[in-house]
Chain A
Amino acid sequence: MSSAFKMNKIGIVIGVLILLLVVSIIFTIQNKPFTKIRKKAHQPKEYTSKGDNAKCLKCHTVSRYEINNPDDSTTVLLKRMPARCIIDTNRYYTSNHWDFKCTDCHSDAYSKVPHDSKLKYAQINTCLDCHAEDAKYAKFHFENIDTAFRKSMHFKNDTVNFNCWSCHNAHYNKTSMRDSLQDIKITVATDNAMCMKCHDTSTSNDYYEFYSKGKAKANIYEKHQWLPMLENHLLNVRCIDCHAAMDPKTLVAHTIQPKSLSVRACADCHSPNSILIKSLYKNRPQAGSRFGFLNPQTLQEQDIIGSNRNYYLDLIFLFVLGFAGFVILIHIIFRIIKKA
């Protein structure tokens, strides 16, 4: 066998191995998020309030509703429904409050149509009105959430108007942190949507102006331009992870901090003792570090440089470098002795 042929054979083998590697990578690519390990048992919901709600939702699901003309019983009036009063029933019946009757929260007086205009000034219940000191909801620590919320700059800026519903929509609210197997991106998107309702400069609504009493809205995209990989951060980290004080007594931080106290140091997240472990990943399974990765609970969905180091890889690198250094040292000594 000629040596040229032998060389070609080695080249072909290396080429085929590289090709196999590339092909295997291509075939194992999955462009979908982390799949749940366990499927939740499907429990069909037994709605008990749909019938009662139908009367309200007949009008509160459409942009134009009909109402009897009080001046002429033979005609009806066509009126415009304000956008904030239109309910998306799909979202409502899959939210945490899915089996509530409208009048569980809204005054019984709303049963009368047309509604008394004074009703819109009626006090609306907050979370604590229903959930306080209720053993069934103890795990949510609503009292602690309320204490944390009262320390937030949102509440301090507007103690009259700012309440739970300023961020959480009672009709559609869904817990996003409780399901530890849920794709973390959904949790991030759900939570950030609450902030963006007021803070997004690309949409025009008057929420921000209302709560800030006319203060101009800052462009949050411009404000965050300093962040490397901005889009990556916005999709994988919640606003509150940097802008709210962590509270060991609650699952989700509710004390929104002033800008000056926000997290600015990259190493707060990009380090072995990343703050994300105590915030965004607080409820994730505390997986054992079987493969030697630091902070393995983040590894199903993210790779946080500086936070996900691998202990064994570090050790191997250090050992090999040390060994190479040692061999070089011995070689130098021999060169000196032998004057080579």
Chain B
Amino acid sequence: MSTKRIYLYPKWLRLWHIINALLCLTLIFTGLSMQFSSKETILLNFFTSVRIHDITGISLAVNYLLFFIGNLATANKRHYRIPAKGFTGNIIKQLKYYLSGMFKGKKAPFPTTEEQKFNPVQQITYKTVMYFMVPVMVITGGLMFFHSVIPYRIYNINGPLFVDVVHLCGAFIITLFLLIHLYFATIGHTPTAHFKSIINGYHELDEEEK
């Protein structure tokens, strides 16, 4: 059976994505090791975690620049433009598909095309994560790295604590996103189809997408 393929993920994007994924996983693991540090830790020891977390965090910030500039300079940015028409309705439509439509054999309401690779739910989550959460994490992480620049008090609470809690909540949201992102990646025409796509750059179209 011949499958139609469309080229969706250029080389720079795939490179950024794989680096970002590895750095994110490392940051989550080392971050957890620090947050749940104890004398009988079963995770990585605190000292090693700090060193790796610092290096990985700086690398992720640099890698984020690659994404930001790449998205600014190439046509990839079109996928992040949320269509004005039916903003809420489209999201509800997509969620309904995930929750019931796909089990009833209905067609995906927003199939992948060369013009729009993301469905409305992906768009809003990817845009929030990439243009809000990651910058928040880079800024708060940077502040913690250059600790002396953090003011003594923010909202009349301990400044470092404020930054730490924001960083922690951001880390949690990104971890949650990663979990859901990985699961949703299995919802292709085969469970591994999307994983193959992000490696070779080609998205294989379902029968219904052709």
Contact = CB atoms under 8 A, between A and B. Distances in A.
Size class of the A contact interface (CB-based, 8 Å): 35 or more
A315 to B, nearest CB: 12
A338 B158 CA distance: 53
B86 interface: yes
B187 to A, nearest CB: 8
A306 B175 contact: no
B35 A228 contact: no
A267 B98 CA distance: 44
A231 interface: yes
A272 B38 contact: yes
Of listed B34, B153, B176, B183, residue having the most chain A CB within 10 A: B153
B160 interface: yes
A236 to B, nearest CB: 10
Contact of A321 (B98, B154, B175): B175
Contact of B151 (A24, A31, A308, A321): A31
Contacts of A301: 158
A221 interface: no
A320 B54 CA distance: 27
Contacts of B102: 335, 340
A30 interface: yes
Contact of B84 (A7, A265, A267): A7
B161 interface: yes
A228 B50 contact: yes
Contacts of B153: 28-30, 32, 34
B39 A267 contact: yes
Contacts of A4: 84-85
Nearest to B159: A29
B85 A3 contact: yes
Q: Is the interface of B mostly helix, strand, loop or mixed?
A: helix
Nearest to B41: A267
Contact of A273 (B39, B105, B165, B169): B39
A271 interface: yes
A313 B161 CA distance: 13
Contacts of B152: 30-34
A25 interface: yes
Interface in B16-42: 34-39, 41
Given A267-B38, A321-B179, A10 B87 contact: yes
Contacts, number: 124
Nearest to B183: A328
A271 B158 contact: no
B160 A320 contact: no
A3 B84 contact: yes
A325 interface: yes
Of listed B39, B45, B85, residue having the most chain A CB within 10 A: B39
A267 B45 contact: yes
A179 interface: no
A228 B51 contact: yes
A299 interface: yes
A268 B168 CA distance: 22
B200 to A, nearest CB: 24
B154 A28 contact: yes
Given A305-B37, A306-B38, A25 B154 contact: yes
A313 B176 contact: no
A229 B45 contact: no
Contacts of A313: 165, 168-169
B158 A300 contact: yes
Interface in A22-58: 24-25, 28-34
Interface in B121-160: 147-148, 151-156, 158-160
B68 interface: no
A276 to B, nearest CB: 14
28 contacts: A2-B84, A3-B84, A3-B87, A4-B85, A7-B82, A7-B84, A25-B154, A28-B154, A28-B155, A29-B151, A29-B159, A229-B147, A267-B39, A267-B45, A270-B46, A271-B38, A273-B38, A303-B161, A305-B34, A305-B164, A306-B38, A308-B164, A313-B165, A317-B172, A321-B179, A328-B183, A335-B102, A338-B103
Leading 5 A-B pairs by shortest Cβ distance: A306-B37, A266-B46, A7-B84, A303-B160, A303-B161
